[in-house]
Amino acid sequence: MKFQRFLSRTSRFVLCLTASYALPLYAAPKTDTASVTRAALDPSLVDGRGANAHFVEQEAENAVTDGTIIGPARTAYTLPAEASGRAAVKLLPGQYVEFTLPEAANAITVRYSIPDSPTGGGITAPLDVSVNGRSLVTMTLTSQYSWLYNQYPFSNDPNAGLLFPDQYITECACVPSATTPPPIITKPFRPNHFYDEQRLLLGHRYQSGDKIRLTTPASSNAAWTVIDLLDSELVGPPQHRDEPAVNVQRFGADPTGQSDSADAFDTAIAFAKQWHREVYLPPGTYQVNRHILVDNVTIEGAGNWYTIVKGHQVTLSSPLPDGSVHTGVGFYGKYAADGGSSNVHLSGFAIEGDVRERIDSDQVNGIGGALSNSTIEGLYIHHTKVGMWLDGPMSNLTIHNNIIVDQIADGINFHTGVTNSVVTNNFVRNTGDDALAMWSDKIEDANNTFDHNTVQTPVLANGIALYGGTDNTISNNLVADPIREGSGLQVGSRFGAQPFTGSLWITNNTTVRSGPFELNWNIGLGAIWIYALEGSINADIEVVGNSFLDNTYNAIMLVSDFPVKDLYTITNVHFKDDRVDGTGTSVVSARVAGSASFENVDARYVGAVGVNNCGSFHFTPAGSEFTLIDLGSNDGGGTTGPWLAPWELPNTITCDDRPPVVPPPPPSPWDPSL
C-alpha cells in the first residue's frame, strides 16, 4: 500500500505543548503456566470477538523458562514491540521455555525470532522440542523470511545506507542528502519484521497437562532465540476424497515435492472441468512455482496441515504485462480485464510461498485475480507477498476460516470494485502491511463485510483498513498490537481511493494495545483512526459497540493533514455504546475541522484530558473547528476528570498533542455500573 510515501513529511502539523516521550511499560498479566489467552488477554475479555480458531494460544512470557522475558514494550523496531502482547522470552543457547498443554493436542505452532545473518538473508538454527522430558524432534528455525530494513519498500541488507537519502526521515527530522553535516544514521536502519512461525505435527496425541519444552541446543549457532508464543491444536485426520474427485496424482503431481507439479495441476483442472468434477489434492507437498489459473473449478485438499502447495520464487526473464518481475506459487482467477473468474471453490490446503522482499509490482500472492461467486475456505497461507489480493471488479466472494501469516505485505485486500463479499472467521498474524483492507481504487468496494476475524501484530500499517467505499461493515473483529504507521482500525481517504459514500458500520470490534506512536508525526494515534487526507469524509459512519482496550495513546483519532487542513473535513461520524478501557493519553484526539457525535461512550483509566481538540489549528476565539456533539451518557474518565467534561463541549480548544503518557492498567472485566 506504499504507505510511507503518503505520510506527511512535515512536523508543522504537530503543535506540541510538551514533549514527553516517556513510553509506557506494562505489567504482564499474572497467569498460571497453562493459561490460554487470546491476543494476550484473558479470553473472557474478548468473548465473541475475533475468529473462532482451531488452536489455543499461550504466550511464552506466561510460561516456565530459564530464559529472559523481554518487554513489555511498544517501541517500533524492537523485538518486544512485534511480539504478541508486546512481550516474549529470549533464550540463550541451552535455555528453554516450557508450556503446559491446556487441551489435548497433536500439533503446535511456534512463533519465534532468531538473528539475521551479518550480511542479511537469514540463517537457520535448531530448536529442540521435548514432551514431558522426552526428546521428540529438532525443528529448524529460519530467519530467511524475516528481518527487513530501511525505508519503504525495505531491504534485506542490514548494512545498507539509506535507500532514499533525499526523503525526509523522522530520526534526524531532516532530509539527509540536504543536510550538512550529514546526519549519522545508525545501522541497521529500522530493522523490523523480526518474527516467523512454523508448524509441527507431533505425531502423537498429547494430553492436557503434558509439557511441551522448547530448548535452544547449547551448540546452537543462533546467539539467541526469542519465543513469542505457542499455539497448540488437535488436528483431525486428513480428508480423503474418492472418485469421482479428480486426484492430481493421477496426472503426475508429485506429493514428495521433488518434481514440479504445476503442469499436472493444470491438466487435472482441465479434466475436472470437462467432466464437471472436483479436483482433489491428497496429502503431500506439491512443488508449484507459478500461478495456477482457476475458473469454474473446485479444488479441495486433505486439510491445510496435510496438503501443502509450495513454491520457490522465480525471477522472470522479462516482466509480465501485470508488471511482475518474479512469479511464485499462487491460485489466481482471471483478471477482470480478461473477464474474471467465477464459481471457484478452494479449500483445505496450505500455500507456502518463498517471498523474501517487497516488490510492489510483483504478483506473488497466495490468491489473486478476480473471483466472483467463489469461496476460499480452510487455507493456510504463508510466506507470500499478500495472502489474498483480489483485483476487481468482482462480486460475491466468501473468505472463511483461513489462516494467513508471515506476509511481506497485506493479509487480504479487496482492491477495486469488490462487492457483496464476506471475510469471516479468518486469523491473520504478522503481515507487513494492512492485515485486512478494502481499497476502493478507481471503483468503489461496496456491500462487503469483514466479520469475526482476528488480526495480530501487523508490523506496518493497520489491522483493518478501509480506503473509500460504500455500505461496508466491519464487525466483531479482534485486532491486537499494530506497531507502526497504522493502527487497529483505519478509515482513510487515501491512496487515490473513491470517496466514502452511503454508510460504514464499524460495530462490536475489539482492539487491544493499539493507538500506537506515529513516528512521522511524532504523536500518538487512536485505536480507530479516521483520516481525511485526500478528501472530506462525510459518509454516515456508525462506530457502535466497540471496545478499545489498553490504548497506547488515544482511543479515537479524527485527523487531516497540515497541507489540506483547510480543505477537508470529517463530519457525520457517530460513536455509540463504545467502551474505552485505558488510554495512555486521550479518548478522542481531533485534529481536523468537522464534528462527531458521542452517545454512551464510556471510558476509564484515561491518561490525559479526555479530548485533545486541535481542530484545524486556527485557534480563533470561536474555538476549535471540530465540534463534539454530546448525545448523553458519555461516562467515566481518568485522573483529569470525566472524559467528556462539559467545559470541553462543544469545541473548546484543548490542543496538547504530546501530553505525558500515563500507562493504564491491563484490561480487566468492565464495571457494568459505568
- The helix/strand/coil state of 660 is coil
Query: What's the Cα-to-Cα distance from 158 to each of 154, 383, 416, 458, rounded to whole Å?
Result: 10, 20, 35, 21
For position 451 contacting Ca ion by CB under 5 A, the verdict is no
For position 197 contacting Ca ion by CB under 5 A, the verdict is no
Q: In this chain, which of 59, 157, 300, 550 binds Ca ion, going by CB under 5 A?
A: 59
For position 430 contacting Ca ion by CB under 5 A, the verdict is no
Residue 59 or residue 444: which is nearer to Ca ion going by CB? 59
CB contact set of 230 (below 8 Å; sequence gap of 6+): 57, 58, 60, 63, 99, 108, 109, 110, 111, 212, 214
Residue 59 or residue 561: which is nearer to Ca ion going by CB? 59
Which pairing describes strands 636-638 and 641-642: parallel, antiparallel, or unpaired? antiparallel
Q: Which three cell numbers stand for residue 619?
A: 485557534
Q: Which phi and psi angles does 564 have, rounded to 5°?
A: -120, 15
CB of 403 to Ca ion, least distance (A): 18
Q: What x/- string results for residues 1 through 40 when contact with Ca ion is judged by CB under 5 A? A: ----------------------------------------
Cα torsion angle, 299, 305, 307, 310, sign: positive
CB of 464 to Ca ion, least distance (A): 21
Distance, CA of 259 to CA of 256 (rounded, Å): 8
For position 425 contacting Ca ion by CB under 5 A, the verdict is no
Q: Which three cell numbers stand for residue 388?
A: 489474498
For position 88 contacting Ca ion by CB under 5 A, the verdict is yes
CB of 68 to Ca ion, least distance (A): 13
Q: Which phi and psi angles does 560 have, rounded to 5°?
A: -115, -155
Part of the chain binding Ca ion (CB under 5 A), chosen from 53-61, 96-104, 143-151, 518-526: 53-61
Residue 301 or residue 666: which is nearer to Ca ion going by CB? 666
For position 84 contacting Ca ion by CB under 5 A, the verdict is yes
The secondary structure of 275-325 as a DSSP string is TT--EEE-SEEEE--SEEE-SSEEEEES-TTTEEEE---EE-SS--TT--S
- In the block, which residue shows the cell 511481506? 408
CB contact set of 276 (below 8 Å; sequence gap of 6+): none
Distance, CA of 641 to CA of 197 (rounded, Å): 44
For position 83 contacting Ca ion by CB under 5 A, the verdict is yes
Query: What's the Cα-to-Cα distance from 229 to each of 147, 177, 248, rounded to whole Å?
Result: 19, 42, 36
Part of the chain binding Ca ion (CB under 5 A), chosen from 79-87, 353-361, 391-399, 423-431: 79-87
Residue 299 or residue 480: which is nearer to Ca ion going by CB? 480
**For residues 612 and 590, is the Cβ–Cβ distance under 8 A?**
yes
Q: In this chain, which of 50, 80, 85, 120 binds Ca ion, going by CB under 5 A?
A: 85
Residue 111 or residue 484: which is nearer to Ca ion going by CB? 111
Residue 427 or residue 575: which is nearer to Ca ion going by CB? 427
For position 169 contacting Ca ion by CB under 5 A, the verdict is no
CB of 66 to Ca ion, least distance (A): 17
Q: What is the DSSP letter of 574?
A: E
- The helix/strand/coil state of 573 is strand
CB of 146 to Ca ion, least distance (A): 16
Residue 197 or residue 657: which is nearer to Ca ion going by CB? 197
Part of the chain binding Ca ion (CB under 5 A), chosen from 225-233, 381-389, 428-436, 554-562: 225-233
Cβ atoms within 10 Å of 48's Cβ, excluding its own: 10
CB of 158 to Ca ion, least distance (A): 24
Residue 37 or residue 401: which is nearer to Ca ion going by CB? 37
**For residues 427 and 404, is the Cβ–Cβ distance under 8 A?**
yes
For position 406 contacting Ca ion by CB under 5 A, the verdict is no
CB of 85 to Ca ion, least distance (A): 4
CB contact set of 75 (below 8 Å; sequence gap of 6+): 23, 81, 517
CB of 96 to Ca ion, least distance (A): 16
CB of 462 to Ca ion, least distance (A): 21
**Strand arrangement of the beta sheet that strand 211-215 belongs to:** 64-65, 96-100, 211-215, 124-131, 134-142
CB of 246 to Ca ion, least distance (A): 43
Residue 429 or residue 579: which is nearer to Ca ion going by CB? 429
CB of 42 to Ca ion, least distance (A): 15
Residue 81 or residue 107: which is nearer to Ca ion going by CB? 81
Residue 70 or residue 264: which is nearer to Ca ion going by CB? 70
Part of the chain binding Ca ion (CB under 5 A), chosen from 31-39, 52-60, 212-220, 313-321: 52-60
For position 228 contacting Ca ion by CB under 5 A, the verdict is yes
Residue 494 or residue 513: which is nearer to Ca ion going by CB? 513
Size of the site for Ca ion (CB under 5 A): 7
CB of 197 to Ca ion, least distance (A): 12
Part of the chain binding Ca ion (CB under 5 A), chosen from 41-49, 138-146, 163-171, 223-231: 223-231
CB of 87 to Ca ion, least distance (A): 5
Report residue 413 CA to chain centroid gap: 12
Q: What is the DSSP letter of 581?
A: E
Residue 71 or residue 468: which is nearer to Ca ion going by CB? 71
Residue 82 or residue 451: which is nearer to Ca ion going by CB? 82
For position 653 contacting Ca ion by CB under 5 A, the verdict is no
Q: Which helix (H) or strand (E) element contains residue 264?
A: helix 262-274
CB of 229 to Ca ion, least distance (A): 5
For position 227 contacting Ca ion by CB under 5 A, the verdict is no
| HEC-encoded secondary structure of 324-392 | CCEECCEEECCCHHHCCEECEEEECCEEECCCCCCCCCCCCCCEEECEECEEEECCEEECCCCCEEEEC
**For residues 558 and 582, is the Cβ–Cβ distance under 8 A?**
no
Part of the chain binding Ca ion (CB under 5 A), chosen from 174-182, 220-228, 562-570, 620-628: 220-228
The residues of the shown chain that bind Ca ion, judged by CB under 5 A, are: 59, 83-85, 88, 228-229
